[in-house]
Amino acid sequence: MSDHSFLSLVEAVSNSGGLENYLKAVKTFYLSIEKNANLIGKCLITDDIKNYTIHVHALKSAARIIGAMEVSKKAEYLEGAGKDFQKAEAAGNSAEAKRLNQEIHERTSSLISLYTSYLKDLRAIVEFA
């Protein structure tokens, strides 16, 4: 197991509506990790902050459902930064947009690293379910 707080099972079962739903949600989360991490990375590389924000929003919600609260919190922060970037860019505030873009780039590797660590961490649960 990685050196992060793994899962908040109380949050997870509460957010997913019961154990059976939780196990299904974990499997869905697990099976989508590589694809979603790649999508987030691709959006970042191409500076597609609009779609980046959409993908980290979806990750925030999916992580919350399975109780991966640290992933959810990091994604929530980056979702907010993405929205703020879009507002700054629309307002013509290029200095603020540049700062937010840099922050998004700097913080995303940590999110993706934590997110992809769940490939190893969730394998036993998915195999059990």
pLDDT for 36-90, tens place per residue? Answer: 999 999 999 999 999 999 999 999 999 998 889 999 999 999 999 999 999 999 9
Question: In terms of pLDDT, which residue wins out, 124 or 14?
Answer: 124
**Tens digits of per-residue pLDDT, 95-124?**
999 999 999 999 999 999 999 999 998 998
Contacts 24+ apart (CB under 8 A), 88-94: 89/49
| pTM for the whole structure | 0.88
CA distance 11 to 82: 26
